[in-house]
Structure 1
Amino acid sequence: MNNVPRETINENPSIEGFSGIKVLDLQDYFLTQEKFSLHKDDKTGVHYTYPQPLENLSKYYESENYISHTDGKKSIFEKIYQIAKQYNLDQKLKLIQNSTQGKSILDYGCGAGDFLQHMQKNGYDVTGMEPNPKAFEISQNKIGKENVVNCELREINRKFDIITMWHVLEHIPNLNEILTELKQHLNPGGTLIIAVPNHLSYDANYYGKHWAAFDVPRHLWHFNPESLQLLIRNFGMNIVNVSPMVLDAFYVSLLSEKYKGNKVPYLKAFFVGLKSNLSAKKTGQYSSLIYTIKISK
């Protein structure tokens, strides 16, 4: 895909039923350096990436540096990511134990399978979905070939007590279709847990177009607590609890400093991440948030 000239971009482009004005020019700092823009939907406030290169989206993931699909521990970024991942696994387990019922769990976009492996060790009946071939193989080796599938959600002929999406919803092209199917795959009283970046956080405001969690075009959708609530209400669901992912502010700030060209980003990233979390204690606007969602009665 070539860079899209500004004059060819509609002022009010529509994507899968979402339509709104442009709010920010963005760039793929991670891989291709291509230009994109951020638009705000008029009805829900959900922000979306434009254009969305859906026909060749996979090429934007073709990098050994895309950490969520690997167990890499070579670079300092990979090591920091792996340390943070271990802490987050325990926090996710506690959240699920305290806010859900039942033991069957589907992790939509399970990556390298660490979360499901952790849950499996704690007595859960686990199923993972993962389209990336490398991550699919890694996760199968961790939790069993019979427990990881590479198919469409509609092809799974069972329901679950818990469905999780850890930084996955923002990647999904067919957003409306998936939200409908997620609801249909929940058992009565089941719980949907979604973790996504929050573009109203302090670190998002501080870094602006360099904020790493915009991550265009891999991130097709961009949420905040209000816009996600408005969106899921259209599908008969409701947010019942919001929890922070406090380590994300530090990691996202580290990547953002790198995108800004800072050759020694660690100290600056630490202070921005710390300030973001301190600010969020008052506002609730953490860098990433976990939403616990139930079907509306």
Structure 2
Amino acid sequence: MTVVTDELKLSIYEKIKFDSPLYAAMFFKNWKRYKTSAELFISSSGVKQHDTVLDYGCGFPFVVNILTELGYIVTGYEPYAGEDELHITKLLGMEKNYQTKLDLQIQYDHILMIDVIEHLAVIKPLMEEIHRLIKPGGTLFISTPNVMRFDMWKKFVSRKTGHPTYIMKYLKASDNFRNHQREFTMQELLIAVKHFNFNQILLQTIRDTQPSIADLNAYHKLLGDQQTFRTSSWATLQNFILNFFPASFKNNNLFVTARRS
């Protein structure tokens, strides 16, 4: 299995840390998710270095950068890219690998949807477009939050709500794509991909991609939102107990790779 190294992590970080310390801290905070996504995609999809890969809705092209450094042909697509996304893309040297508009006549061997599907209020048009963009026999890789995770159970109890977005964040949002519209169980995600004719499941797994407390604190310090995180005896005990629970309860991200019919 291909391993994404800490050396690659640091080389990407070095490109952006002086010009964009906030996004450099965000990169560190999300690194485990980027690393896990890249490794699972490579190991499960059968991707070859001459294959074409599209990272659909990539936002900041960190996974694009990781896969490109590993020798793959990857294009990042972000229809809602703003100045920040374009600036980070330039710092990473990924301008030639980044698009804000797609040629819908081009098909790809593989498409990634990393933390995209949970932002969709209406899923059908985009999933049908994804199906058209993938060559017959190609693969779709999805990473998305696990709605059954223990942290979400705690939030549901404390907020007395069934929605994954905090109410004040929802009320202050100025667009329809930054908040989570729906999060999935693994069974629901499998139903969704099969419904849109990705019938051969090559991978289904649930993994822990939570950031370290140090990376969380570094990020929130730069945000200036006064949030701090500490390790407590209760949290240590809680994490120990969770080791005896199924992956669907203790881990926070779903990963599925499916082949197009």
Correspondence for 2:207: 245
Indicate which of 114, 127, 133 corresponds to 1:166. 114
Identity of aligned residues (%): 20
Cross-structure match for 1:4: none
Instruction: Return the alpha-carbon distance in structure 2 between the equivalents of residues 173 and 184 of structure 1.
Output: 20
Q: Equivalent residue of 2:65, what SS?
A: helix
| Aligned twin of 2:81 | 132
Between the aligned partners of 2:237 and 2:123, the Cα distance in structure 1 is: 32
Q: Is the 8 A contact 2:207 2:247 kept in 1?
A: no
- Cα gap change, 1:179 to 1:203, in 2 (>3 Å): same
2:248 alignment counterpart: 284
Tell me the distance in 1 between the aligned counterparts of 2:241 and 2:110.
30
Residue among 29, 32, 40 paired with 1:95: 40
CA shift in 2, pair 1:88/1:229, >3 Å? closer
Paired letter, 2:86? F
Counting only pairs closer than 5 Å after superposition, residues 203-222 of structure 1 correspond to structure 2 as 203-208=151-156, 210=159, 214-215=164-165, 217=170, 218-222=179-183
Aligned partners of 1:165 and 1:193 also within 8 Å: yes
Correspondence 1:156 to 2:104:
yes
For the Cα contact (< 8 Å) 1:128–1:149, is it kept in 2? yes
Q: Which amino acid aligns with 1:221?
A: R
Give the equivalent residue in structure 2 for 1:295.
260
1:244 partner amino acid: I
Pairwise CA distance, 1:284: 3.2
Q: How far is the alpha carbon of 1:279 from its aligned partner?
A: 5.0
TM-score (norm 1): 0.60
- For 1:274 and 1:266, the matched residues in 2 are separated by 14
SS of alignment partner, residue 105 of structure 2: coil
Cα displacement string for residues 182-216 of structure 1 (whole angstroms, at most 9, x for unaligned residues) = 111112221111111111112211221659x9236
How far apart are the structure 1 equivalents of 2:148 and 2:212?
Answer: 16
Select between 191-200 and 261-270 the one with higher mean Cα deviation. Answer: 261-270
Q: Which has the higher strand share?
A: 1
CA distance in 1, matches of 2:237, 2:57: 29
Return structure 1 stretches of 4+ with deviation > 6 angstroms: none
The change in CA–CA distance for 1:233 and 1:90 in structure 2 (over 3 A counts) is closer
Residue of structure 2 in register with 1:32 after alignment: none
Unmatched segments (≥5 aa) in structure 2: 1-15, 171-178
Deviation digits for residues 121-140 of structure 1 (CA, Å, limit 9, x no counterpart): 11111111112212134224
Gaps of 5+ in 1: 1-69
SS of corresponding position for 1:243: strand
- Shift in Å at residue 283 of structure 1? 4.2
Distance 1:193 1:277 in 2: 27
Q: Match of 1:106, SS?
A: strand
